[in-house]
Every structure is written in C-alpha cells, then in structure tokens.
Amino acid sequence: MSAHVPINNIIPFSLVDGPGARCSVFLQGCNIRCAYCHNPETQSLCVACGACVRACPARALTLEAGAVVWDSELCTGCDTCIGTCTYRSSPRIRHMDAREVFAEVSSYQPFIRGVTTSGGECMLYPEFLLELFGLCRAAGIGALIDSNGTIDFSEHEGLLNVADGVMIDVKAWSDAWFVHLTGTDGATVRKNLAFLAERDKLEEVRVIVTEGWNDPEDAVDGIAATLGRRVGAARLRLMRFRHFGVRGPMASAPSPSDARMDALEARAHELGFGEVVVS
C-alpha cells in the first residue's frame, strides 16, 4: 500500500494529456523550476504560513494544528489563494492514497480511455504510481506518465511495466539552455529519452517553443539524433509558449510567431518524426 500523496487536482476529461479521453491526475510538488511553468502553484508543498487563509474571501480555508485546511464546499474557485501564495503552492490539496484516486478515476468509466498522471512532477511519487497503475491496468484503464524527465526511469522498471508509456518534456538540448530555463541540467532527460525509446515506452516528446528562453530547433535536432532509427515511431508535440498562468520573468514573454512554428514543424517532418503535432 502506498502512502497518501498530495493531489492538486483530478480532471475527469482532458483533451490534451495523451490519446483519447483521459482523466488527468495532477500531483503536487516539483523538483525543478521552469521559467515557463503554466501552473507554478503545483511546484511546492504548503508551508502553512496562513497568508491564503487570511486572504480567502469565501472563508473556505482555516489553519488547524499547523496545517491549512481547505473546505471544498465553501470554495468558489476564485483562485485568490493561488494569487496570494508566495511559495508556489496551493492550499487546495487533497491527500489521497492510490486506492482513493483509483476509486475516483474508475468512476469515470466507460468514458475515459486512460489516466495520465502529471504535476508538478508525478515521478516524485513512484510507489503511488506503481499501485495506481496496477489497479488501473486490472480495470482496463490505460495509464500514462507525464514527466519532466529529470528522474531516471531506468531505476523504475517495475513502474514502466504497468505504464503504457511516458510523455516527456525536452525543455532544451544543451545544458546551458536547460539551466537557463529550469535551474538544472538536462543530462537525465537525454538519458531517459534514449532509454524510453529503447524500451518502446516513449508515448510523446514535447518541446515548448519560446522566444529567447530555449533553443527549440536545437532540441528537435537533438531528439531526432538520439532517437536515431526510432524517430519514425515517435510523436513530437511542438507547443507554443503562452503566458497564461506563468509567473516571474516569463509572465510577459512573447509567444512565437506562426512562421516560426511552421518552420519548426517543417524541420521536424524533415527529420523524420512519425507524427508532429503543433499546439
């Protein structure tokens, strides 16, 4: 039995987290700090400073025994708490174990094709994922991992056996750009990319296209070179940077032009990617 983990949100129907209709489970907490993160409130665990409790207009938050308690019934979803928090966290966290999450996920059958775990970084909770995916698989629900790729998948063979695949971000190829964007290097991401392709568990590779915060062309080239002959089996998603939800220096950064996206898409096709999705 896995422990209770912090769940930021469970979305019954997602159009953008893998093939078909999917239930997305967002885990709270992340090991890196991407400048373009569009849900930075999922990055950290609550420190119970109480700022959001005082700010909540619906009085849906209270401090009890040194922890912020969220009343979902009173909550109006106004997001004042998210705007108030300076720790990149959220008080609207549910602590659930794999069985509880599975109960919720499976209540959406027969509508969903699968579950996708995201975050934050869901690979911070591999034991939880292992149990959840085992339950899903037994119930005929597919399971995908959406990861930033900085945690070594070769150490989680058991989990990969019960997962349909991994959707992995390649935020930049060179370490210089990687550090510039995330504060950490991309060595593990590059290793994972090769490993997951080799294991036939690479569901999707994603590159966020920014103006001046990474080098997406270099990333696409690097991915193609690493995948080698497997490039034809890979789905590449080129995502246009959008500032919605972003905080910090990139909050007012521009989105790339259509021309740039088109050029990058053409480049990806030339490199032989099996499927190129622009979103």
Partner 1 sequence: MSDNGYLNIITASNLTYKQKVLHLAQAAENSVRPLKTTKEFDRFFEARALDDMQEGNAPYRPRYICPDYQHFSGHGSEFLHLDAPRDLDDLLWGLSMVYNNVPSVTSRPVSVGQLDKIIDPFLDGVSDDEAKRALKHFLNYIDRTVASGYCHANIGPEDTRAGRLLLEVEAELQNAVPNFTLKYDPAVTPDDFMRLALTTAMKCANPAFANHAIHKHTYQGGYQVVSCYNVLPLGGGAYCLDRLLLPGMARLATSVDDFLDNILPSATGELCNYMNERIRFEVEESNFFQSSWLVKDGLISRERFTGMFGVAGMSECVKELLHLGDERAYGTDPEADELAEKIMQKIYDQVNEFDAVYSEVAGGRFTLHAQAGFSDQVGVTPGVRVKVGDEPEVLYDHIRQAASLHRFFNAGVSDIFPVEPTAEKNPDALLDVIKAAFSIDDKYLSFYSSDGDLVRITGFLVKRSEMEKYAKGEAVLADTSHDGEGNWRANDLADRKVRL
Shortest Cβ 272–partner 1 spacing (Å): 21
Scanning 53-61, 89-97, 105-113, 246-254 for contacts with partner 1 by CB under 8 A, the matching segment is 105-113
Shortest Cβ 141–partner 1 spacing (Å): 12
Cα dist from 193 to 143, 186, 268, whole Å: 19, 11, 17
Question: Which one of 3, 15, 55, 139 is in contact with partner 1 (CB under 8 A)?
Answer: 15
Closer of 108 and 195 to partner 1 (Cβ): 108
Does 12 participate in binding partner 1 (rule CB under 8 A)? yes
Closer of 66 and 110 to partner 1 (Cβ): 110
Are 161 and 140 within 8 A, CB to CB? no
CA distance 11 to 246: 20
Q: What residues between 30 and 69 interact with partner 1 by CB under 8 A? A: none
CA distance 22 to 5: 21
DSSP-H helix ranges across the chain: 51-55, 80-84, 98-106, 126-138, 157-162, 175-182, 187-198, 216-227, 258-270
Residues in the chain: 279
* End-to-end Cα spacing for the chain: 38
Shortest Cβ 98–partner 1 spacing (Å): 21
Scanning 103-111, 165-173, 219-227, 268-276 for contacts with partner 1 by CB under 8 A, the matching segment is 103-111
φ/ψ of 229, rounded to 5, equals -70, -15
Partners of residue 240 on adjacent β-strands: 209
Are 201 and 166 within 8 A, CB to CB? yes
Q: Residues 107-146 vs partner 1: string with x where CB under 8 A?
A: -xxxxxx---------------------------------
Q: Residues 248-277 vs partner 1: string with x where CB under 8 A?
A: -----------------------------x
Give the number of residues in contact with partner 1, rule: CB under 8 A. Answer: 17
Scanning 19-27, 60-68, 89-97, 170-178 for contacts with partner 1 by CB under 8 A, the matching segment is 19-27
Scanning 14-22, 84-92, 205-213, 227-235 for contacts with partner 1 by CB under 8 A, the matching segment is 14-22
Partners of residue 24 on adjacent β-strands: 11, 116
